[in-house]
């Protein structure tokens, strides 16, 4: 910032209480905002609601860009334990973020970027940086107006850089949380500054239905919305989460209590698949109501082909399937299904695509380590095995035994990231004769470090954001299995999140004993895909194919695994 600009800012902030940093070239009203908040409790499905609405608005010819605002002080989600916060999703640009962004990408079938995810840690870091540079020039930096100002700046910069007609803002947590209170205040200010017709608020609430009463009760929902209104935010749309369809009587009660027309009170009740939510919204014309509120109804150009394609997919999800397959997922976070959310969704996409009812069998690998053969016997009932990503020593010996069982018994296998490394360790020990081979992550003193830290990672002493992250090209070996699965492509693109690799010193040893490295990093000696020739399906990738699987285009590695599982079962 130039000295003259700093002086102008200083004189302005001394004379006025307004602090609203507006990016150069920003035009008020060009981009509209839809704000999605929680009320009674968290976990109601704000991300599902917001992504479904985004999809419908895009099917009306509008360009949408979602953003998730998290209340924690971490810079990103990269160091969070999956048991506390679910899986860490990775965007193509390498951003480690909340799993809700995976929901957005799958529902909208588009890649997002780092601007679509913001945390308190990011906001405060920017403010501290500006303060140290002297950009506030003598002002005491406060939550209002500086923290709220930085939040509004981020939203307006996203609006400009994306060129979106609508930015959909999901506020993490629920109303009343201290950690997101400044987001709520910033969005109230945004509505005031952008003006009537440029901002729409949607609130998710929960309608109770206690079994001992046998009827729905709306009072808790009303009180949750009342708390939101006390913050100065009056919702335009209310989505009611419930086990069963919300009755007209309850909708009317909520409508009267909140001044929200009953046609904008939406029943978001439990359904067989989240992919049914967009159709439910469309049947209630919810996207049309939003477009009216924002003055965008004149822009509507319905993509009927897109709606038909989605409806066809949801019909495949619901219909009785021709085939069946049981897929085992062997990991150490099996107590929380959200730890493997993208894998579950990738299998669901394959189920619809291959007309297959996929039953997931959860295999806790720490039990195999502790219980030995009785726990390992669970593998006898599966048609395919997945070993997902993960970190740390706990459960790895159990995973090694699972992979050995799959390799020796012809069970289709797909290893993901750590699952790639586990396959190498198992093969080194039991085929190459390298007793006690291991990864230096698990045992620094192993005599055969077949998996070792990447050279570029050796001098890094921090965890957050320091791995090999994001989308990268892979050279696929011609005529290999992976080459065929990806439609005869010699270059494929997938997302990574790792700091360990196949030790280059052992590549020749592996190849001499039967491993085919069918995917490599362009111009580098980094192995990224392995497969076994004389096996029904034995593949592992250093990348995470689950992050790029979409409802209408399942990831090829998952398709190959499920096809092999169907064949084995038959």
Q: Tell me if residue 16 is catalytic.
A: no
Single out the catalytic residue among 64, 97, 350, 417.
417
Single out the catalytic residue among 378, 426, 546, 563.
546
Q: Could you write out the DSSP letters of every residue in 166-205?
A: EEEEEEPS-TT-GGGHHHHHHHHHHHHHH-TTSEEEEEEE
* Nearest-angstrom CA–CA distance, 268 and 274: 10
Q: Tell me if residue 402 is catalytic.
A: no
* Nearest-angstrom CA–CA distance, 186 and 246: 32
Which residues, 6 or more positions from 129, have their beta carbon under 8 angstroms from its beta carbon? none
* Nearest-angstrom CA–CA distance, 534 and 541: 18
Q: Tell me if residue 546 is catalytic.
A: yes
Dihedral sign (CA 66, 70, 75, 77) = negative
* Residue 168 tokens, joined: 């959909």
11 CB neighbour count, 10 Å cutoff? 11
Q: Is the peptide bond before 410 cis (omega within 30 degrees of 0)?
A: no
225 CB neighbour count, 10 Å cutoff? 26
Single out the catalytic residue among 182, 498, 535, 544.
544
Cα separations in angstroms, 384 against 94, 143, 415, 529, 557: 30, 53, 11, 18, 13
* Residue appearing with tokens 């198992």: 426
Strands 117-119 and 64-70: parallel
DSSP state of 18: -
* Residue appearing with tokens 């020739």: 533
Which residues, 6 or more positions from 354, have their beta carbon under 8 angstroms from its beta carbon? 323, 559, 562, 563, 566
Active site residues: 417, 544, 546
């Amino acid at each position: 910032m130039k000295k003259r600009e700093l002086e102008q800012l200083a004189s302005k902030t001394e004379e006025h209480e307004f602090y609203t940093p507006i990016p150069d070239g920003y035009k008020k009203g060009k981009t509209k905002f839809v704000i999605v908040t929680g009320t009674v409790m968290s976990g109601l499905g704000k991300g599902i609601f917001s992504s479904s609405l985004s999809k419908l608005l895009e099917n009306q010819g509008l360009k949408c860009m979602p953003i998730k605002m998290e209340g924690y002080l971490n810079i990103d989600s990269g160091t969070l334990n999956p048991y506390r916060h679910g899986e860490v999703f990775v965007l193509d640009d390498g951003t480690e973020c909340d799993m809700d962004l995976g929901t957005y990408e799958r529902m909208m079938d588009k890649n997002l970027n780092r601007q679509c995810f913001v945390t308190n840690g990011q906001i405060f870091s920017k403010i501290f940086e500006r303060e140290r540079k002297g950009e506030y020039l003598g002002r005491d930096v406060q939550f209002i107006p500086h923290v709220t100002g930085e939040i509004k700046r981020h939203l307006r910069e996203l609006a400009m850089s994306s060129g979106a007609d609508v930015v959909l803002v999901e506020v993490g947590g629920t109303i009343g949380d201290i950690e997101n209170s400044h987001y709520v205040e910033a969005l109230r200010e945004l509505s005031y500054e952008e003006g009537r017709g440029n901002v729409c608020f949607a609130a998710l609430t929960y309608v109770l239905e206690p079994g001992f009463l046998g009827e729905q009760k709306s009072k808790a929902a009303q009180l949750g919305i009342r708390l939101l209104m006390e913050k100065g935010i009056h919702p335009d749309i209310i989505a009611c989460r419930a086990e069963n369809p919300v009755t007209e009587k309850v909708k009317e009660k909520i409508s009267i209590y909140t001044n929200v027309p009953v046609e904008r009170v939406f029943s978001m009740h439990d359904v067989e698949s989240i992919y049914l939510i967009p159709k439910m919204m469309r049947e209630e014309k919810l996207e049309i109501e939003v477009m009216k509120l924002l003055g965008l109804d004149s822009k509507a150009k319905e993509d009927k082909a897109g709606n038909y394609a989605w409806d066809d997919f949801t019909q495949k999800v619901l219909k009785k399937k021709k085939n069946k397959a049981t897929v085992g997922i062997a990991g150490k976070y099996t107590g929380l299904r959200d730890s493997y959310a993208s894998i579950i969704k990738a299998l669901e996409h394959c189920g619809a695509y291959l007309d297959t009812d996929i039953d997931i069998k959860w295999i806790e690998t720490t039990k195999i380590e502790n219980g030995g053969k009785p726990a390992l016997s669970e593998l006898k009932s599966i048609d395919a095995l997945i070993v997902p990503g993960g970190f740390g020593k706990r459960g790895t010996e159990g995973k090694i035994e699972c992979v050995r069982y799959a390799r020796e018994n012809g069970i289709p296998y797909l290893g993901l990231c750590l699952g790639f490394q586990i396959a190498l360790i198992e093969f080194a020990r039991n085929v190459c004769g390298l007793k006690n081979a291991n990864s230096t992550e698990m045992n620094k003193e192993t005599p055969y470090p077949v998996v070792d830290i990447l050279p570029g990672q050796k001098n890094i002493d921090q965890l957050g954001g320091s791995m090999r992250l994001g989308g990268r090209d892979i050279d696929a070996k011609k005529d290999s299995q992976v080459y065929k699965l990806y439609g005869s492509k010699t270059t494929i693109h997938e997302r990574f999140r790792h700091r360990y690799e196949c030790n280059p010193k052992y590549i020749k040893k592996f190849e001499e004993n039967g491993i085919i490295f069918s995917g490599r990093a362009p111009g580098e000696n980094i192995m990224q895909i392995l497969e076994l020739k004389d096996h029904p399906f034995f593949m592992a990738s250093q990348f995470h194919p689950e992050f790029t699987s979409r409802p209408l285009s399942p990831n090829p590695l998952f398709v190959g695994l499920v096809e092999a599982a169907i064949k084995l079962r038959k």
